[in-house]
Amino acid sequence: MITTLISVDSSLASQIALRYCCQMAKMVSMDIRSIHIEKNSHGAAAPGTGWVRQTWESSTMETARDEIVNLVEALPSACPISKVPKLAMGDPDEEICHELESGRYDLFVEGMLHNFDPTSFCERIRTRRFYQSACPVLLVKNMPAFRQAAFLLTPGERPGPLADAFRKLFPKDAMKIDLIEVQHVPGLATVSAKRHRHDENSAALADTAMDADIAGQFINQGWTLRHHKQVGELAETPVLLRNYSLVASYLPREFRRRDPLLKVLNQVPTANLLCCSS
Amino acid sequence: MQILVAVNTEPYSNLAVDQVARLAANTNAKVTILGIAQGKHNRAKRQTSLPANLEIDDALQGAIGEYRDRFVGHFARSVQMPFESGPEAPGIRLCMGNASKEILSESRELESDLIVLGCDDANGCTWNNAQEVPRQIASEAYCSVYIAKKDTAVDRVVCCLGHEEISQQSLEMVSQFVTLYGARLQMVGLLERGELKSDIEKKLGWLISYYGTKKIEPWVEVVEARKFDDFVASEARYALMALWMGKEALLRRIFSKAKMSRLVKTSESSALVLR
């Protein structure tokens, strides 16, 4: 049973994330609990103090709860999600981190609309609820059919912990898995994908897979993503990544805006499964 | 749905006729083939049959007959017969003169919902070698326009939405093109200063539900308005770009006629302008 916490509001991104979870629950046994954090409105937006403030806050929370209850009621009845969300007012990072620590969750889910520009993606995964999460984080962007997943690694990264996290969430035969290595070539600005035949995969990639004892088990095929300066090949990375219902990777250790890994992760149109590397 | 397919004697007109026939196979579309001869403006038209007294060169007359047979032939081969009584023969109109003016004028007269035309995509999407007819039609038509090119690897229909008013006809057209290409549908919402307007967000949600009932699961992507040109340049290679250009549309403001012309000219895949 995967105990899942999903952060929801009335946005389209949340609706898609909820539907993704319900679809996922058809594959694995899940207990989905929703949480909504109403941002603390210290300052200009907060009307008055004392009773006025309290009345405004409870009215705001009630409206939010009703909106979310309506969203949940629109989901298939078989979806194992709590009908009433957990509500709190405050800082979303703080409240969600606290809930994740105290609730022993296996997975945290959040929705985000797929954005052509990587800035908002970078900002999102820099939040504390992502990089301090006690469990893997699933960032849902679109609703795909669950067919194929990929592990996206940089040279030297071991897929072991990622594979362990993945195994805990999905049954062995749930999806085919590709292994994608992102290579960094300094000085080249854009990113492209180059497909290699299975027998042409880099030795490092094969070794990494072998080390983790997953090569023969469920790795489907290997790819290498390289940074390339030919703009004409720019579209190939998105084309490759579009094939996957989910791309799993470690959360980047550094958040440089122009980090090519972040660019590649942003180009995943379906869902990113993000785990801490240690 | 009224579809006007504009043709001349060039091979790319075959492609336009084929695409229209495939579209008509799944809809109750009424199709008119408009043959345009080069020459002085001398309008004279007759529907459903070839004109007897019109001074149109033999090549065009022959080609029009072939296009009609080609269109009807699609229905004969089709497993799904759209009409109980068999395919409705396309109406035929012929004219001479400025192709752009004739097509636009004819589409207004027929109250067309969609204008379809092919183009020489090896030569910058031209019509009769030098004219820029497809670009003018895409920019100036009052109804939707489909510029048919030899699509190689279209895997998505990318619909760009900058306003909430969408005609039922255009919704249906998108659905037909998704079926036609066997492609994924991707809905794109435009951001203004990082924000997706709530009416656009609601419309995207509504579109997901609408196409969900047709067993189509659209994906959603958002693009900052100022980066829309980059987005189009990167997507037009693999996708049929469908742009909703309403009168008040944000797209109309940020995607000028010149940019539209460039898209039609440079895109490797077909282009669909929805109105």
Give tens-digit pLDDT for B139-156: 888 899 999 888 666 788
The rounded distance, in Å, linking the Cα atoms of A178 and A106 is 23
B102 contact A CB<8A: no
The rounded distance, in Å, linking the Cα atoms of B156 and B153 is 9
pLDDT, mean over chain A: 78
What is the predicted pLDDT for the residue at A200?
Answer: 41
Please give the helix or strand (H or E) that residue B230 lies within, else none: helix B228-235
The rounded distance, in Å, linking the Cα atoms of B43 and A204 is 71
Which residues of chain B does A120 touch, with a Cβ-Cβ cutoff of 8 Å? 194
pLDDT at A10 over 80: yes
pLDDT tens digits for range A253-274: 777 766 777 888 888 999 999 9
The rounded distance, in Å, linking the Cα atoms of B186 and B239 is 10
What is the predicted pLDDT for the residue at A198?
Answer: 41
A265 token code pair? 């992760």
CB-based contact A116 B223, cutoff 8 Å: yes
Q: Does ipTM come in above 0.85?
A: no
* Of A177-181, B189-193, B217-221, the least confident: A177-181
Note if the pTM is more than 0.90. Answer: no
Q: How confident is the model at residue A214 (pLDDT cuts 50, 70, 90)?
A: very low
Sheet hosting strand B30-37, strand order edge to edge: A114-115, B219-224, B184-191, B156-161, B239-244, B271-274, B144-148, B114-118, B2-7, B30-37, B91-96
Interface list for B 116-175 with A (CB within 8 A): 155
Which residues of chain A does B221 touch, with a Cβ-Cβ cutoff of 8 Å? 113-116, 269
Partner-chain residue, chosen from A12, A141, A235, that has the shortest CB–CB distance to B238: A235
A23 contact B CB<8A: no
Partner-chain residue, chosen from B220, B237, B238, that has the shortest CB–CB distance to A114: B220
Q: How confident is the model at residue B123 (pLDDT cuts 50, 70, 90)?
A: confident
> CA nearest A7: which of A71, A60, A54, A62?
A71
Most B CBs within 10 A among A117, A123, A242, hence the mutation to make, goes to: A117
Q: Average pLDDT in the A40-55 region?
A: 68
Return the amino acid letter for B115: I
What is the predicted pLDDT for the residue at A197?
Answer: 40
Which residues of chain B does A15 touch, with a Cβ-Cβ cutoff of 8 Å? 205
Which residues of chain B does A116 touch, with a Cβ-Cβ cutoff of 8 Å? 221-224, 227, 230-231
Q: Average pLDDT in the A183-198 region?
A: 48
Kindly report the number of other CB atoms within 10 A of residue A136's CB atom.
23
Question: A216 vs chain B: nearest CA distance in angstroms?
Answer: 31
A4 contact B CB<8A: no
**A207 or A258, which is more confident:** A258
CB-based contact B220 A113, cutoff 8 Å: yes
* Of B30-39, B68-77, B172-181, B250-259, the least confident: B250-259
